[in-house]
Amino acid sequence: MRISVVPTVLLAAAAAWAQPGPAAKPWVAPTPPREGEFTIRDFHFGDGATLPEIRMHYTTLGTPQRDAAGHVTNAVLVLHGTNRAGKVFLIPGFSGELFGPGQPLDASRYFLILPDQLGAGLGKSTKPSDGLRAGFPHYDYADMIRAAQLMLSGGLQVDHLRLFIGASMGCMQGFLWGESNPGFADAMLLLSCLPTEIGGRNRMVRKLMIDDIRNDPGWNNGNYTSQPYGLRAALGHLLVVGSAPTYWQHQYPTAAQADKYVDDYIAQNLQSTDANDLMYQYDASRNYNPGPDLGKIPMPVTLINALDDFWNPGEMGVAEQQIRKVRNGKFILLPVTAETRGHYTFFVASVWKDYLKQLLAASR
């Protein structure tokens, strides 16, 4: 594995969401985060497509501890959201609240694994923009999960997790992991998602984003020479559904300030986002539907959503209904405060880390 510096462009967007009222203290790891890659040969996708190899990239902190049989006992997997990368969590609002000395996931006690998911645009794992473009297999969450599991077992020799943490897309995948691999983790902390088929406004926005790109003549069946204009429209939808109205009204109370934020957001994300990567990642949720098998999940699960999450509105009552199907499930709906950030409240660990402490204590 190699050591590298986390690129600031990768963390800028996450940091913008993760600023709670009192600024979180920067956290410096006792040893720099380590990066590694695991190559999976002859990878078969669920629809029958294959690739001769895929690359799975990951970042780790801490040291694995093993029992007498050689099994890692202190692994914590943290899965990022759509089109992001594992290192988005290395910001003060998240790592500064969780990974430091004496904190819930102290890196001197736990082996923390932050993978870049298959296809994720900001990550270094294999993705459409590597060369295949629209010829890349149309993977779904099951393919992404299988790739991550092979990375854990083959690349890091981890066959069990002390804790699974998933945010947004990672949250949705957590329910699927629990259903298909009941004994893989002692507990799961899932943030900002719903354990039900993606429908309603959530699906509508995803379709709009995909269609914005695919219906743009500049997309050229994925063979564009510069990013199609439809990507800008898709990013605009993403900005709105990721909004934090209370916080934004306080931070950008004038037209000029709001306009500048939009312009800066679009400009920054156009530099770091590939249209095919974005389209593929959002399309991967097309068949997500954990509802029928939630009863198969045996481990303690805590699902935390924020009331001001535009993707998963708290007033719908879906999470409360569905979590009852999980035998050891618990749902927390966070009220709107000066610290919440809508869908991206998962970056502000100070708001919810007490629930993480309770989950760790209950799952010893």
- The separation between CA 244 and the C-alpha centre of its own chain, rounded to angstroms, equals 18
Average pLDDT over residues 259-287: 97
Q: Are strands 34-44 and 2-3 parallel, antiparallel or unpaired?
A: antiparallel
Q: Do 59 and 89 contact (CB within 8 A), yes or no? A: no
Q: Are strands 75-79 and 50-61 parallel, antiparallel or unpaired?
A: unpaired
Picking from 75, 96, 271, 255, the residue whose alpha carbon sits closest to that of residue 159 is: 75
Residue 364 — very low, low, confident or very high, per pLDDT cuts 50/70/90?
confident
128-143 pLDDT, tens per residue?
999 999 999 999 999 9
Domains of the chain: 2-200+291-362 (3.40.50.1820), 202-281 (1.10.1740.110)
Q: What is the pLDDT of residue 3?
A: 32
Residue 97 pLDDT greater than 50, yes or no: yes
Quote the CA–CA distance of 323 and 329 in Å, as a whole number.
6
C-alpha to C-alpha distances, 363 to 28, 186, 350, nearest whole angstrom: 28, 6, 21
Picking from 154, 156, 144, the residue whose alpha carbon sits closest to that of residue 116 is: 144
199-232 pLDDT, tens per residue?
999 999 999 999 999 999 999 999 999 999 999 9
13-67 pLDDT, tens per residue?
555 555 544 455 666 776 789 999 999 999 999 999 999 999 999 999 999 999 9
Reported pTM: 0.94
Q: How many CB atoms lie within 10 A of CB 337?
A: 16
Q: What is the pLDDT of residue 34?
A: 96
Residue 5 pLDDT greater than 70, yes or no: no
Tokens of 155: 């690349």
Quote the CA–CA distance of 346 and 352 in Å, as a whole number.
8
Average pLDDT over residues 188-198: 98
Average pLDDT over residues 290-298: 97
Total number of residues shown for the chain: 364
CA angle 230, 233, 237 (to 5 degrees): 140
Residue 1 pLDDT greater than 80, yes or no: no
Average pLDDT over residues 235-252: 95
Burial level of 342, CB count in 10 A (0-12/13-18/19+)?
buried
Quote the CA–CA distance of 188 and 315 in Å, as a whole number.
24
300-351 pLDDT, tens per residue?
999 999 999 999 999 999 999 999 999 999 999 999 999 999 999 999 999 9
DSSP letters for 187-201: -EEEES--SS---HH
Beta bridge partners of 53: 41
